[in-house]
Structure 1
Amino acid sequence: MAAVLSINSLPYEVRQEIYSLIVRQTDSHSRDSGSVPTLARYATVSRRWQEEFVEPLTFKELRVTPRRLKDFSDIVTSTRRRALVETIHFHVSLDRYEQYLDSEQETSAERRRSAEILVSALKSMFRAMILWRKSETSPRGLDLHLIVDSPSDSSTLIGRKGGLLVTARALTSYLKIDTETLSLPYLDVFSGFRCTGRHLQPTSALAIASRLRTLEYLDLELNHDSTRNRDIEQRNNFALGLEQYAETVRVLNLHRPSPMLTTSPSPQKQPWSEFYVKMRAFSQQCESLEFDDCIDAIQFFAPFLIGPTAERTLRGQEAPLWMRLKRLNVRNSYMVKAPYLRVANRAEALASIHKVIVAIGRATSRMPELLFARVSQYVLTDGQLEWFVLTYESHAGKAVLRVRGFVPSKAIAGAWKHATTTKSLEFDIRHENDDSNVPEL
């Protein structure tokens, strides 16, 4: 009688083809026993099947809650399994609240309670992770995704894209940790950290990040740029703390919180404020930098603005030099919502966008390793959203500039061309405009 063939006797390439077919027909994350089969059903086919196919997918991204930390620790005990983990989504649930409170901010007592829940959960999480060693994880390290929200934060309203909206309480109730009393052990297994859900004040997020000694990637919400004393103080403290608590970070992504329901006065133009000076200084250690409306591009790139005012501002200041920067992504809006109105009318918006694109073009001459840059500026007028996008790519001795939504003026083309010629690169501009009536900037 012929021997019965097993899955283990098949060549590796054949097994991989089988695995890929199964993945396309399963839900790799679902834990429900619905009509769509899950990977868990295939775990008992064979030990090789489990170790070679099921576990690399199921352990790649782990979703953990404070209540399941013990199960998490019991399951991911072996070095082999720990090496498979790339991301840990740690979901902290705050207290529920009644529907009639949907539109009200948390009270001071409720904010303290939310902070206590978060700190307690973080302490448990960090105690579980202290048993991990850097040598046990993948060479890239782990990403920690902190999700904090209440089960009641989902509104009964449906958004334009069909998803549930969050309540006004979720949008306006922020989280703040007492950084002076926060006691967490240091970990060396996380290389990335980001927060979503309830807005965690940037200094509080930085306090958590400071316990991650090998952190390279940081993705945080930064408070609105306004004249409110609380905003100014938090932003300054955050910028000051970056150098001290995030010295190993090389990839920095900053973005504004979810739209707040209360407006705030727009900030004054202060490119040499403590915040912008410190942010420019810290950014010079980054390999990738991304920010949106939380940072005003004109103020950030003020040293490269053209004109007598800019020259006087720059006097006595050394122009930044981004020796490591390979990727830059800048997004700013105009006339969309306070405090990001920035200008009074469309003509002022276009003039500001022109300044930004020229200044960033000049700044790229101080970015010798830059491979990719994207500058996205958008303006809301009469209910119409206009996009002005410039993309820069450098490869094989050639720099290609793609523009959409506008025709680049001589000043813009000249600034970017000069920056590329200083690096001995060929230069080419490509227009990707569908509308022949796009403005010249």
Structure 2
Amino acid sequence: MESLPPELMSRVVDYIVSDRPARSGIFLAPYATVDRRWQAMIERHTFSYIYINTNKRLEEFQRLVSTTRRRACVRTITLLVELESYDEKARARFETDEERQQNNKIFTATISTLFRIISGWSDNASIALNIEAQSPSDYTALKSRGEIKQRLRAAKPRVNDLLSQRYERSYLEFSKATSDSECPLVPAITSLSIQGLAEERLIEPASSVFIALKLPRLNRVELIMKDECKRDERLRQLLRNNFARNLHLFPTSVRKLSLQFHYLPPRDQNYPPPDVTVDGSDLLSSHLRNFSQQLESLYTTQSVIGPELFWPFNLQDDGDDLKLPFWPNLINVSVEYPQITPSGEWLCQRERGEAVDDDTDNAYDSFEDDENDYPEYVRIPLEDRKRTIFRTRIIPDYVDKFYLSAGQAALRMPKLRQMRLVANAARPEYAFEYEVQAGRAKLSWSNEDISDPRETDASARLEKAKRIYQPDEQVFQIWRKVALQHTGSELEVEFKECGT
């Protein structure tokens, strides 16, 4: 082996790596013992992705990266914060305030420890950090089929084992008051992903900002968060608005934001969605608009947002451009939102001529009978016990306002190349897409085909899609201005079915 030239040795190592599944550094480790030259090449791969899921593993990581050479290999770190375990008796009740506080301390301390380890690393490094959290006692932490079956069997009477419902109102918090000595700045981390939604523990949205405050070279942020607490709407609004009010604290270095702020509308469309506005305005939309002015790309999905995401309400152009929102570097915008408004309205209504009273044809997979056997505190929320879909016709006034607001903002986005606005999460789906390519600007509206599936005439389906919704002329006018500004040419307009 010692006689092999470095180039050939590198080819051999690359071949071994390509034959292994992703993130399988543990299987490569034995090859590092061949000789010192092999060790360096193998460690370039084994240390590129680091997975830390226990305190012991965190201590081991600190020891393993004591050399500059190994530090230089690290590209991605996934930190699964290990929370406190709990016994079988505790599975049948919600987390207590004391348990929440203890888990918050663990969450803050574990992240702080990792940051202390990495804080002295080279400013030239570029590390992606993924943060999740879980207790070893959580149902989602189980690995063997036997354990899973046993827990599910115990949870059949829901009062015996709440599973993940045990912590449905417990959001982990990272302490904003953590000092720089306890949790120092970490220039080496340039990408941050925080997952606090379903499989992992819920994480307070605002805590993502407080963590990011420790990362002065942060460029990319990906947040997968929950914006839903149907048993406690006040808690939901508190978390949502606290996140919105702290968005401006993200480092000025952030250029890319991907936000999945997950909310599912009522399954039974007879129920109104909750109103999350404050004095008629949605704080998340308006604060996200302000923050987005430093971005190059903005992607948000499953987020309940309003037209003020793009343009402030009642703001008039008085000729002073300095007072207007401006996105000097924004290139790509993608906004996918459920078919509801922050003010608690549905974006769709009943099809014209359809009977007002629901019948069995409109209702699917009802949970109502099963739910009668459980106490209210463990039952599925009332608005989700029956799936009733009848809102299939878009309400033009609201979406026109949304597209007008987006057009007004696009006039202040000189580098914009693509904007997608998609109302989804239920049928039908409505998609708007503006794209600049090769000096041409194109605007497309896509309406999901909700006609008889036996209809095979494509032109007939398209005509129905057009009848469902066509933008107001004001919408066309403002987007013609956008196209003229971006390309100096006329706007191309196309109607099509979703997916075509």
For the structure 1 residues 338 and 409, does the alpha-carbon distance in structure 2 shift closer, same or farther, using more than 3 Å as the test? closer
| Distance in 2 separating the partners of 1:115 and 1:261 | 31
Match of 1:26 among 17, 20, 31: 20
Q: 1:5-50 deviations in whole A, cap 9, x for unaligned?
A: 95427658xx54x555433421242477xxxxx3334434554444
Structure 2 runs not aligned, ≥5 long: 141-147, 153-161, 350-390, 448-464
CA contact (8 A) 2:277 2:342 kept: no
Which residue in 2 is equivalent to 1:184? 183
> Which residue, out of 80, 102, 106, partners 1:91?
80
1:323 Cα deviation after fit: 0.9
Give, as a single letter, the amino acid of the residue that structure 2 aligns with 1:68. Answer: R
Q: Hey, what does 1:386 align to over in structure 2?
A: 428
Alpha-carbon separation, structure 1, partners of 2:75 and 2:43:
12
Superposed displacement of residue 379, structure 1: 5.5
Give the secondary structure class of the aligned counterpart of 1:200: coil
Deviates more, 1:113-122 or 1:262-271: 262-271
The alpha carbon displacement at 1:112 in A equals 0.9
CA distance in structure 1 between the partners assigned to 2:221 and 2:6 by the alignment: 45
Distance change in 2, residues 1:362/1:83 (3 Å)? same
Q: Does the CA-based 8 Å contact 1:330-1:375 persist in structure 2?
A: yes
- The 2-side partners of 1:435 and 1:10 are apart by 47
Q: Which residues of 2 match residues 3-402 of structure 1 at below 5 A?
A: 6-8=3-5, 16=11, 18-19=12-13, 21-30=15-24, 38-45=27-34, 47-52=36-41, 54-65=42-53, 66-98=55-87, 104-135=93-124, 137=125, 141-155=126-140, 156=148, 167-180=164-177, 183-196=182-195, 197-221=200-224, 224=227, 228-257=233-262, 265-268=274-277, 272=281, 275-303=284-312, 313-315=314-316, 318-334=323-339, 345-349=391-395, 351-378=397-424, 380=426, 385-402=427-444
Q: Is the 1:134–1:189 contact (alpha carbons within 8 Å) kept by the matching residues of 2?
A: yes
- Aligned residues: percent identity? 25
The residue type paired with residue 64 of structure 1 is I
User: How many residues are paired up?
Assistant: 403
Gaps of 5+ in 1: 33-37, 160-164, 304-309, 437-441
Question: Could you tell me which amino acid in structure 1 is paired with residue 259 of structure 2?
Answer: L
Q: Is 1:433 aligned to residue 497 of structure 2? A: yes
Mapped to 1, the partners of 2:104 and 2:265 lie a distance apart of 20
Decide whether aligned partners of structure 1 residues 41 and 214 sit closer, same or farther in structure 2, where only a CA change above 3 A counts.
Answer: same
| AA of the residue aligned to 1:55 | E
Counterpart CA distance in 2 for 1:337 and 1:245 is 24
Corresponding residue for residue 416 of structure 1: 479
Residue 339 to residue 30, structure 1, CA distance change in 2 (3 Å): farther
Q: Deviations over 1:380-437 (max 9, x none)?
A: 3xxxx3222233333332334454335564645554343121122554445552799x
Distance 1:153 1:31, change over 3 A: farther
Look up the equivalent residue of 2:187 and give its one-letter code.
D
Q: What is the rounded CA distance, in whole Å, between the counterparts of 1:10 and 1:249 in structure 2?
A: 38
Alpha-carbon distance in 2 for matches of 1:103, 1:92: 23
Contact 1:200 1:221 in 2 (8 A): no
TM-score, normalization by structure 1: 0.76
**Match of 1:396, as an amino acid?**
A
Contact kept? 2:259, 2:301, Cα under 8 Å: yes
The whole-number CA distance in structure 2 between the counterparts of 1:275 and 1:112 is 27
**Alpha-carbon distance change, 434 to 264 in structure 1, aligned in 2, over 3 angstroms:** closer
| Contact 1:399/1:425, CA 8 A, preserved across alignment | no
**d(CA) in 2 for partners of 1:134 and 1:63?**
22
Letter in 2 for 1:212: L
Distance 2:302 2:7 in 1: 54
One-letter amino acid of the structure 2 residue matched with residue 167 of structure 1: S
For the 8 Å contact 1:106–1:169, the answer to whether it is kept is yes
Amino acid at match of 1:251: K
Structure 1 contact 115–177 (Cα < 8 Å) conserved:
yes
Change (3 A) 1:173 1:230: closer
Output the TM-score relative to the length of structure 2: 0.68
Q: 1:295-345 CA deviation, whole Å, 9 max, x = no partner?
A: 413232344xxxxxx6xx224784421111112110111269997856664
Alignment root-mean-square deviation, CA: 4.0
Q: For residues 300 and 434 of structure 1, what CA distance do their matches in structure 2 show?
A: 24
Q: 1:20 to 1:261 in 2, by over 3 A?
A: farther
In structure 2, distance between residues paired with 1:276 and 1:370: 20
Structure 1 counterpart of 2:20, one-letter code: T
Distance 1:371 1:113, change over 3 A: same
CA contact (8 A) 1:223 1:235 kept: no
Q: Partner amino acid for 2:48?
A: K
The one-letter code sitting in structure 1 at the alignment partner of 2:71 is R
CA 358–329 in structure 1, closer or farther in 2 if over 3 Å, else same = same
| Cα distance in structure 1, aligned partners of 2:498 and 2:228 | 34
SS in 2 for 1:120: helix
Q: Report the CA distance shift for 1:106/1:297 in structure 2 as closer, same or farther (over 3 A).
A: same
Q: Which runs of 4+ in 1 moved over 6 A?
A: 258-264, 336-340
Contact 1:172 1:261 in 2 (8 A): no
Deviations 1:146-195 (A, max 9, x none): 11112333354899xxxxx9722354421124423564222211112221
Equivalent residues of 1:269, 1:299 under 8 A apart: no
